[in-house]
Chain A
């Protein structure tokens, strides 16, 4: 116990002397939580729309004004031919082109021809923007269509048209605020970075400057040394998490709806797993540069396959399997469960069990490999 106490004293001393790292640990969660959720917005706005109106009728103009009034589109201009509109798409000045054929009004209203075709061309380089833009536009046109039918077809009172109206209610996030979705996710990533990077780099640093040699010829037991490394970063992880929770409460008004203790309980186990991962990487690398690159490699996978930006459920089967091996995906899920859904101990029990497994496996592997190499 005495040895551990002195090892901890030494570690904390070193951490507190490294002003740059300390500032980063404290400032990073605050800055990132304030800036990132504001920028990483899922809603698509300001879609540039080019219109090729061959009809020039009151109805076509009405359709265009309905579209621009929605707030999602910015009218780039009217063009005389589709070719011109395509040119603008090629130059990235326009995202969508809408073509209204000549005789649109005449055919639709006066002659009541069954179907009228509108043509939409979408710039799909930015997949999300294209998909959502196309969908917004289609839905606006559908509404418009409905509107015209109400106006011209026999009143519904006499011949009611059976329609199904869907009224969605957004549970757990009624206003569909994307911050509610992003903030817990970003907090999860921050925690992973602090735990994984710092522990890995710290141990590799001892290797790099040779202090580990000096330690190895002392009677310090391996598990003492490892505990001396894990505990400080475990504590720091908790500090970062608490700071992050405070920021999201003060700035976004996001306060965990569920059991906070359950949340911390999960965080404690999660930190153990991530620290174990950092330790594992440090046993396989000799320089901080190597450790950094390997950590980045895994960090990218952890983040992109962790369900933070994209839904895991919509991934292909093999990717789902991979994401189940990703500790971050469990954290993101649990954070959202507790913060948004108000889950408690019993709901996160399966996650907690898996995370305990991760912690045991990663730390066990790390210690086994650490023994072997020295």
Chain B
């Protein structure tokens, strides 16, 4: 459905490599996530795939159309929701939706079934100007406008950035339902916890793809063991842990400190670590073996 072959994009006359030799394929009907921090190159990839930006190297196709040569076909068959709210703020919900339907040579009625679930939530405010809506409602309206022409591929650039946790959850449920309608969805997000909601994800950093797999696959591919540690006097714990022999990588993760045991010959790790911390004068020591999250995998890839 969407394929990228060695796509490269540079800014400032080549000084800044925003997208560096990226290749991946998204299957039809898949919910594919581009996960990475700000500046990883997610938006640039989206802008190239939606024909807003020309790549400096490589080729890509969307729904079988080349992104450079067949940009016209792509524009009438994809839906794009930019990271920034970019509908007409001085037009009402209804007028915006109508406008975008017309622009795509269709009507709201024709594809109403696609947006019905989402639209009913904002329908009570349909006379309100888009600029006066709350963040969550703006997202819903933007999604409706991106869907109104029944796109085959939907590009959502950081749709949940700046949206409250409840609306975020709702938003992902809407995406799941859209997926069931057979729409291929590419979504980017800086939130690692949203990654597990995708069918497959590409972890990105500095314009490069670090890994592409299902969320389960990425977690299963975690090369070492991960432990969570907690004790009294956490600030001191952060300084004491790096003195442990053999050395390991540790970082704060919520209320725990995660420890990535690279060396497997230190057995049994939990007992040894508990012993080490007791000797160092800590109390209420808690050391448990845990399954890594996507974020752990991401951190692991960055420290490699």
Contact = CB atoms under 8 A, between A and B. Distances in A.
Interface of A: 2-3, 6, 10, 13-14, 17-18, 209-211, 213-220, 374
Given A210-B84, A211-B87, A213-B86, A218 B103 contact: yes
A10 B99 contact: yes
A209 B89 contact: yes
B90 A6 contact: no
B86 A17 contact: no
A13 B91 contact: yes
Given A13-B91, A13-B95, A14-B91, A219 B103 contact: yes
11 contacts: A2-B102, A2-B105, A6-B103, A13-B95, A210-B84, A211-B88, A213-B80, A217-B52, A218-B75, A218-B76, A219-B75
A218 B90 contact: no
A211 B95 CA distance: 14
Classify the interface of chain B: helix, strand, loop or mixed. loop
Given A10-B99, A13-B95, A217 B80 contact: yes
A214 B86 contact: yes
A3 B52 contact: no
B50 A6 contact: no
Contact of B103 (A14, A18, A220): A220
B80 A219 contact: no
Listed residue (B72, B75, B88, B91) with the most chain A CB atoms within 10 angstroms of its CB: B88
Nearest to A211: B86
Contacts of A220: 103
Contacts of B100: 214, 218
B78 A3 contact: no
A12 to B, nearest CB: 12
A217 B51 CA distance: 7
A14 B88 contact: yes
Contact of B82 (A3, A210, A218): A210
A218 B72 CA distance: 9
B191 interface: no
Classify the interface of chain A: helix, strand, loop or mixed. helix
A215 B87 CA distance: 9
Sorted nearest first, the 10 A-B pairs with minimum C-beta distance are A210-B86, A219-B76, A6-B102, A217-B80, A218-B103, A214-B86, A210-B84, A217-B50, A211-B86, A17-B90
B300 to A, nearest CB: 35
Contacts of B89: 209
Interface string B57-99: 0000000000000001001101010101111111100010001
A219 B90 contact: no
Listed residue (A211, A215, A374) with the most chain B CB atoms within 10 angstroms of its CB: A211
B91 A213 contact: no
B104 interface: yes
Listed residue (A13, A215, A218) with the most chain B CB atoms within 10 angstroms of its CB: A218
B99 A213 contact: no
Contacts of A218: 75-76, 100, 103-104
A104 to B, nearest CB: 75
B91 A10 contact: yes
A217 B90 CA distance: 20
A154 B84 CA distance: 94
A210 B105 CA distance: 22
Given A14-B88, A219-B75, A214 B105 contact: no
A49 B95 CA distance: 68
A211 B87 CA distance: 6
Nearest to A374: B52
B72 A219 contact: yes
B102 A3 contact: yes
Contacts of A215: 103
Listed residue (B91, B103, B104, B145) with the most chain A CB atoms within 10 angstroms of its CB: B103
Contacts of A219: 72, 75-76, 103-105
A10 B84 CA distance: 21
Nearest to B142: A214
A374 B80 CA distance: 16
Contacts of A3: 102-103, 105
A214 B100 CA distance: 9
A66 B99 CA distance: 75
Contacts of A374: 52
Contacts of B84: 210
Given A13-B95, A214-B87, A218-B75, 4 more contacts: A10-B95, A217-B51, A218-B100, A218-B104
A13 B89 CA distance: 12
B110 to A, nearest CB: 15
B86 A18 contact: no
A374 B90 CA distance: 25
Nearest to A214: B86
A114 B104 CA distance: 93
B256 to A, nearest CB: 40
Contacts of A211: 86-88
A14 B96 CA distance: 12
A209 B86 contact: yes
A351 B75 CA distance: 43
A14 B90 CA distance: 6
B55 to A, nearest CB: 15
